[in-house]
Structure 1
Amino acid sequence: MDLDCTAVLTDIWLMLDGECNDETRARLQHHMDHCSPCIEAYGIEEKIKGLLSRKCGGDRAPDALRERLTFEIRRTVTTTQVESSKVDTADS
């Protein structure tokens, strides 16, 4: 199954945190191996995660907060993608 960049970018943190299964990790890695913008985004997020880990002592957020943030990130990315598609369609 091919992934689009939006799906990969929303799941980068799951991959960085080791919270995805081997199959998902392989799919994400395969996409990033062929998509330089996504591998660049992964590198940036990896640096941010490292910085947060050093500054925050590696504390783990409560599961409810993590779920809510994941939902909001996915909603924001989806909304942005839909709005971008509308602009592209209007320009055509």
Structure 2
Amino acid sequence: MDMDCTAVLADVWLLLDNECDETIKARLREHINRCSPCIEAYGLEEKLKSLLNRKCGGERAPDSLRARLTMEIRTTFTQVETSIEPQ
């Protein structure tokens, strides 16, 4: 089953943080490799993650903050769902 851009972008941090199983990882990578807007978004998120790692010294955020940020990211991507056409 193919994934739409909204689902991919909502889960891109799971991929970047290696927090998803191999099946989901393969689906995300397959979509990202075929979809120009998602390739661009993935690249930006990857750069942001790298910058955060460098500036925060690799410290891990508290679980409550991570949960709140994950919720905010998912909400944001849900709100912009109509602005991205599925591939």
TM-score range, shorter chain: 0.7 to 0.9
Aligned letter for 1:7? A
Q: How high is the TM-score relative to the length of structure 1?
A: 0.81
Aligned to 2:39: 39
Q: Structure 2: which 5+ residue stretches go unaligned? A: none
Give the total of aligned pairs.
Answer: 83
Return the alpha-carbon distance in structure 2 between the equivalents of residues 31 and 21 of structure 1: 16
Which string of whole-angstrom CA distances, capped at 9 and with x for unpartnered residues, describes residues 8-59 of structure 1? 1111111111111111100100101110110111111111111111111011
Q: Which runs of 4+ in 1 moved over 6 A?
A: none
Deviations 1:52-76 (A, max 9, x none): 1111101111122211211121122
Corresponding letter in the other structure for 1:23: T
Which stretches in structure 1 are left out of the alignment for 5+ residues? 85-92
- Are 2:65 and 1:73 equivalent residues in the alignment? no
Q: For 1:46 and 1:81, locate their aligned partners in 2 and report how far apart those are by CA, in whole Å.
A: 21
- In the superposition, the TM-score normalised over structure 2's length comes to 0.85
1:7 and 2:18 correspond = no
Q: Name the Cα RMSD after superposition.
A: 1.4
State the structure with more CA Rg: 1
Deviation at 1:79, TM superposition (A): 2.5
> Offset of 1:80 from its aligned partner?
2.9
Name the amino acid aligned to 2:45: E
**SS across alignment from 2:2:** coil
* Structure with higher RCO (Cα < 8 A, 6+ apart): 2
